[in-house]
């Protein structure tokens, strides 16, 4: 298996969205990094981590970069898109990883309009 192997993604897919704080950990590793690496290991189509400049969660504590001191726990969103079956297979692993973390996990159906190169080139 080479590093450039491509995966097929059907038009009807699922978006897994995970909201956590950047201070959340999995052992010594940042939780967002552990989730992305596990998704890659399980051969999910892809994952993206987005960092938010402001947000709040269950505690209503505001996390922002606007405060004079830089926030140490900005909101992160991890998005993973793949088939329903592959996302369903990933959820028990994610559940274990999130066991001691505070966060929100959502699922929604999406339509994939483009995945990979759009010009059909090799």
Residue ranges covered by each domain of the chain: 18-111
CATH of domain 18-111: 3.30.70.120
Q: Which residues contact 20 (CB under 8 A, 6 or more apart)?
A: 31, 32, 75, 76, 78, 98, 101, 102, 103
CB neighbour class for 30 (10 Å; exposed up to 12, middle 13-18, buried from 19)? middle
Q: pLDDT tens digits, residue range 54-80?
A: 887 777 777 766 655 555 688 999 999
Q: pLDDT tens digits, residue range 3-54?
A: 555 677 889 999 999 999 999 999 899 999 999 999 999 999 999 999 988 8
What's the pTM? 0.83
Residue 1, pLDDT > 60, answer no
């Amino acid at each position: 298996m080479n590093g450039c192997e491509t995966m097929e993604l059907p038009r009807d897919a699922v978006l897994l969205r995970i909201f956590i704080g950047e201070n959340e950990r999995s052992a010594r590793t940042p939780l967002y990094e552990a989730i992305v690496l596990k998704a890659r290991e399980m051969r999910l189509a892809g994952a993206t981590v987005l960092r938010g400049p402001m947000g709040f969660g269950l505690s209503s504590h505001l996390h922002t970069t606007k405060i004079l001191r830089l926030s140490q726990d900005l909101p992160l969103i991890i998005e993973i898109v793949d088939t329903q079956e592959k996302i369903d297979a990933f959820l028990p692993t994610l559940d274990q990883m999130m066991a001691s973390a505070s966060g929100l996990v959502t699922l929604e159906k999406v339509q994939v309009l483009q995945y990979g190169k759009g010009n059909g080139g090799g």
